[in-house]
Amino acid sequence: MGHKRGSPLSSAQVKEVQRQVTQWRRTRRKRSPMPPALWEAAVSLARTHGIYAIARALRVSYETLKRRVEQPPGGGSLGRQEAPDFVEIPVAQLVPSSEATGTVVELTAPDGARLVVRLPDGAHNLDVLRLADTFWRRRS
């Protein structure tokens, strides 16, 4: 996906998105993620002008932009729906930490947050994949 002839990076669309990204950087709270609308604009431009050229022009991560360009339309990986923000775990399934038997699910996020869930033997109705997805996609 290289730079395509006839669509210079000085195009009005690229300049407008550069302006919006610059404005967002000036006004954002420290370390806040770029808004989805700006990512969508960057992805659209990358599909026209190339991933490297747009990542460089907007000063965003090449790898992140590439991953977003390669995602199927709708944003989810493999067309899955957005993960829920809440996963219910019935209290009756939870086991005190002193109990040694059962299944233990331990998750650690890149920011250091940890989640440990201990389930008794026979508690098989917990959707561990959904729990992990929700935990890792949460906003810190």
Task: Pick the last residue of a domain from 32, 48, 79.
Answer: 79
Of 91, 98, 4, the closest CA to residue 52 belongs to 4
Are both 34 and 62 inside the same structural domain?
yes
Q: Which domain holds residue 74?
A: 12-79
At 77 the pLDDT is: 46
Q: Which runs of E-coded beta strand occur in the chain?
A: 103-108, 114-119
Q: Is beta strand 114-119 parallel, antiparallel or unpaired with respect to 103-108?
A: antiparallel
Between CA 137 and CA 140 the distance in angstroms is: 9
Task: Pick the last residue of a domain from 79, 100, 128.
Answer: 79
At 22 the pLDDT is: 93
At 78 the pLDDT is: 41
pLDDT tens series, the chain, 140 aa: 555 544 456 688 899 999 999 999 999 888 888 999 999 999 999 988 999 999 999 999 999 999 999 887 655 544 444 545 666 666 665 656 565 567 788 888 777 788 887 777 766 667 777 778 787 777 65
| CB contact set of 130 (below 8 Å; sequence gap of 6+) | 83, 84, 87
At 6 the pLDDT is: 46
Are both 96 and 64 inside the same structural domain?
no
